[in-house]
Amino acid sequence: MSFHFYHGKRYRTFNTYLKETFGCRVHKVSLDAGFTCPNRDGTCGTGGCIYCSNKGFSYNTRKGVPPLTEQLKQGIDYMHRRFHASKFIAYFQAYSSTYAPLNHLKKTYDTIRSFPEIVGLFISTRPDCLSEAVLDLIETYREDYLIWIELGLQSASDDTLRRINRGHTVADFIDAATRAARHELPVCAHVILGLPWETKREILKTAELLARLRAPGVKIHALHILKNTRLASEYAARPFALLEMQQYAALVCDFLERVPPEAVVQRLAVDVPKNELVEPQWCLRKQETMVAIEAELERRNSFQGRLSRDTS
């Protein structure tokens, strides 16, 4: 097996995938459409996931949620000025972006139709917010847009999902991802590495699950603690070990070796706002983290999917 199809990289980067699809760079505009989350409003839980801070996750949430058209216009203008970008993806990022009545969802997603520069519709949500009716609705945009559903998994351990208060099970994720695949809607699984009680073996089980499901995409990040979260209170009361950058880089490589070779790796490190971060501080050094991951793959002479056949 070789990695020549990654265009010289040792994993299938998101930018490469977008260039293959559109022939040019495409930039994401992250949106907060004012949705909430069933794990916050009491429908399936309260308090949310222990690490959840939408202020930490989303620029437009920090800005006080301007009207959607304004968010799109400002995001497009900014990317155009900064990167000379001409094509964009509307990324419904904040909270659970399928958690609303169908007519409201349609009206919200339809906002992007007024922006001809938008070529993609990415929707971030939870496994328990993907009914057949929602999938049918999302499918109607496929003719005009590149569609991805970004689906929170975080870990393939039900024990971990309970401890981080996800309010859904691994089986719920498998069910949602399988049904999305039936609708030919690609799913990008979100995963957290470095939960202090998870062993390397448990972490790799998450990669192996994604390999079994032939997950089309994955987003990975290191556990980091944001202010005003339950995790921040737990950490203040009883500090626990967090990964160092090099440990994270090694784990990412172990993980990538096991995910499907064709999966699009949409993220390996997050942009964390400095004033929202508690620890670890190295999460602010995104570029250095990316370099450490690539150096580790190089050192091993390894690449994405090298071991995934063994687990499928």
Nearest alpha carbon to residue 56 among 307, 292, 285, 273:
273
Query: CB of residue 47 vs ligand SF4: minimum separation in angstroms?
Result: 8
Region binding ligand SF4 by CB under 6 A among candidate stretches 8-16, 37-45, 226-234, 282-290: 37-45
What one-character DSSP code corresponds to residue 91?
A: E
Phi/psi at 307 (nearest 5 deg)? -110, 5
> For ligand SF4, which is the closer residue by CB, 218 or 297?
218
Residue number, 192 or 249, with CB nearest to ligand SF4: 192
Query: Of 98, 209, 75, 206, which Cα lies nearest the Cα of 149?
Result: 98
Q: Which residues contact 216 (CB under 8 A, 6 or more apart)?
A: 186, 187, 188, 262, 263, 264
Measured CA to CA, the distance from residue 15 to residue 87 in angstroms comes to: 13
3-state class of 174 per DSSP?
helix
Q: Does 91 contact ligand SF4 by CB under 6 A?
A: no
What is the 8-class DSSP label of residue 281? G
Tell me the HSE value of 206 on the side-chain side, using a 13 A CA sphere. 32
Check binding of 49 to ligand SF4 (CB under 6 A). Answer: yes
Q: Which two tokens stand for residue 276?
A: 């929202």
Residue (94 or 256) nearer to ligand SF4, CB: 94
Nearer to ligand SF4, 34 or 247 (CB): 34
Q: Which of residues 109-168 bind ligand SF4 (CB under 6 A)?
A: 126, 152
> Binding of ligand SF4 at residue 61 (CB under 6 A)?
no
Which of residues 12 and 126 has its CB atom nearest to ligand SF4 in the complex?
Answer: 126
Asked if residue 40 binds ligand SF4 (CB under 6 A), the reply is yes
In SS3 terms, 206-230 reads as HHHHHHHCCCCEEEEEECCEECCCH
Range in contact with ligand SF4 (rule: CB under 6 A) among 36-44, 64-72, 233-241, 245-253: 36-44
Binding residue for ligand SF4 (CB under 6 A) from 61, 96, 157, 304?
96
Distance CA 179, CA 70 (A): 34
Single out the residue of 10, 31, 48, 219 in contact with ligand SF4 (rule: CB under 6 A): 48
Q: Does 223 bind ligand SF4 (CB under 6 A)?
A: no
Which listed range, 24-32, 33-41, 217-225, 275-283, lies at the site for ligand SF4 (CB under 6 A)? 33-41
Taking the C-alpha atoms of residue 223 and residue 193, their distance in angstroms, rounded to an integer, is: 6
**CB of residue 126 to ligand SF4, shortest distance in Å:** 5
Q: Given candidates 3, 59, 91, 95, which one binds ligand SF4 under the rule CB under 6 A?
A: 95
Which residue, 231 or 268, is less far from ligand SF4 as judged by CB?
A: 231
Among 3, 13, 30, 39, binds ligand SF4 (CB under 6 A): 39
Q: How far is CA 310 from CA 122, 132, 220, in A?
A: 31, 33, 21
Q: Residue numbers of the site for ligand SF4 (CB under 6 A)?
A: 37, 39-40, 48-49, 52, 95-96, 126, 152
